[in-house]
Amino acid sequence: MPLHSVPNVKHFIRQLSYLTLEYLDKDPRCTVPVILGILNIWPIQSAQKRILLFDELKEYLTMAAQGELRPIVDNFFCVIAQCLGSNHFQLADRVLQWVDTELTLYIQSHNSFSSLVTTYRRHAYNHLVPALMENVRAHWHKKIQESSNMIMHMMIQVDPQRYLDVFRRQRKRMMKTVRRKKKKYRLRGRSSETDQGTRGDR
C-alpha cells in the first residue's frame, strides 16, 4: 500500500479508498492482503492519519470472508486496542463508538466485528480487555472511561471465564509494575540519602 504511507495522503485518501473498494469489489481475493497492508503501515505518531485509516479499514473489513482473516486477527485486534486506548480523544472515541455499536447490535454477519470477537475470542480478549482496563483506570477523559467500562461489561457477558482470565493476568502485571516503581523510588531515595551523607562528611 505505497500511496497510503506518503505524508500527504490525507489530501487524497477518499479518492484512494474509493478506487481500492472498486478494485476489491472486482477481485475480493485481494481484500485480506489490502487489510494486512493497512495494518503493516499503521501510523505511530499521527492520530489524524490513524482516524482516516481506521475509517478505511472498517470498509475493507465488511468485504472480507471471516475465515480468510484468521492469519491477521492478532495484528488486527492489536491495532484496534491501540486505537481505543489512545490519549487522542477523537481517535479513542470513534473506535469505542464503533466497537460499542457492533457489540450492542451483535451483528452476526460473517464479517462483522462482533462476529470476529466471538470467533477469535482469545485474540480479541487478550488485546482489548487490557486496553479497556487501562482506559477505565487512567484515561484523562471521562467519556472514554465510561465507554470503556460499558464495553467491558458487554465482553463479560459474551465470555465471563475468558474475561476473568485476562483480567487476572492484567491485574498481576499492573501490580508487578507498581511494585517495580516503588522499589525504584526507594532505591533512588536511598541513593539520594547516601549522596547527601557523603557531602556532609566533606
Q: What is the mean pLDDT of the chain?
A: 87
Average pLDDT over residues 134-144: 95
Q: Does the pLDDT of residue 163 top 80, yes or no?
A: yes
Q: Supply 41's cell numbers.
A: 503501515
* Average pLDDT of the residues in 194-201: 59
pLDDT band at 135 (very low <50, low <70, confident <90, very high): very high
Counting every residue written for the chain, the total comes to 202
Distance CA 117, CA 132 (A): 15
Three-state DSSP class for residue 202: coil
If you average pLDDT over residues 177-185, what whole number do you get?
A: 79
Q: What average pLDDT does this structure show over 24-37?
A: 91
Average pLDDT over residues 59-65: 86
* pLDDT recorded at residue 68: 85
Q: How confident is the model at residue 191 (pLDDT cuts 50, 70, 90)?
A: low
- How many other β-carbons are positioned within 10 Å of the β-carbon of residue 161? 8
Cα first-last separation, the chain: 65
Q: What is the pLDDT of residue 155?
A: 92
**What's residue 142's pLDDT?**
96
For residues 148 and 133, give the distance between their C-alpha atoms in angstroms, rounded to a whole number.
Answer: 8
- Rounded to two decimals, the pTM is 0.85
Rounded to the nearest 10°, the torsion over CA 74, 63, 68, 16 is: -70
Least reliable range by pLDDT among 53-57, 75-79, 186-190: 186-190
**pLDDT at position 5, please?**
75
Q: What was the pLDDT predicted at 64? A: 84
pLDDT of residue 195: 60
Give the cell for residue 29: 481475493
45: pLDDT strictly greater than 60: yes
The amino acid that residue 77 corresponds to is F
Q: Is the pLDDT of residue 182 over 60?
A: yes
**What pLDDT, on a 0 to 100 scale, did the predictor assign at position 95?**
96
- Which pLDDT value is given to residue 198? 59
Give the pLDDT mean for 151-179.
Answer: 90
Distance between CA 165 and CA 70 in Å, rounded? 22
